[in-house]
Amino acid sequence: DAGVIQSPRHEVTEMGQEVTLRCKPISGHNSLFWYRQTMMRGLELLIYFNNNVPIDDSGMPEDRFSAKMPNASFSTLKIQPSEPRDSAVYFCASTRQVANEQFFGPGTRLTVL
């Protein structure tokens, strides 16, 4: 299995631009999680989906952030408009069921100038 796939691996953009991060979970996994990691705040859960349905989005920082999961093999995290404080590494993780161990992708390093 290829594991969780994220793209792009690196993204550099200017403040105000729209950013879209992509994730393909492991085949057969029913739950998908988006995390943000920074030095100051560590690993923060932003949102998670179960069977393509958003279950808990209480970690999404503000309305500029949105996430979708149109099917079992694809999810996006969008930031619009982006701000410098959004600079972080964004991880996607998937699991067979919510209460199981999570498998992480390699992350997308986002830099907003």
Partner 1 sequence: GQQLNQSPQSMFIQEGEDVSMNCTSSSIFNTWLWYKQDPGEGPVLLIALYKAGELTSNGRLTAQFGITRKDSFLNISASIPSDVGIYFCAVITGNQFYFGTGTSLTVIP
- SS3 assignment, position 99: coil
Q: Which residues pair with 24 in a beta bridge?
A: 5
Residue 103 CB, nearest approach to partner 1 (Å): 7
The answer to whether the CB of 67 falls within 8 A of the CB of 34 is yes
Among 19, 26, 79, 93, which residue sits at the site for partner 1 (rule: CB under 8 A)?
93
For position 82 contacting partner 1 by CB under 8 A, the verdict is no
Among 73, 81, 96, 104, which residue sits at the site for partner 1 (rule: CB under 8 A)?
104
Phi and psi torsions of 108, nearest 5°: -120, 120
Q: Print the binding letters for residues 3-42 with partner 1: x by CB under 8 A, - otherwise.
A: -x----------------------------x--------x
C-alpha–C-alpha distance, residues 98 and 34, integer Å: 13
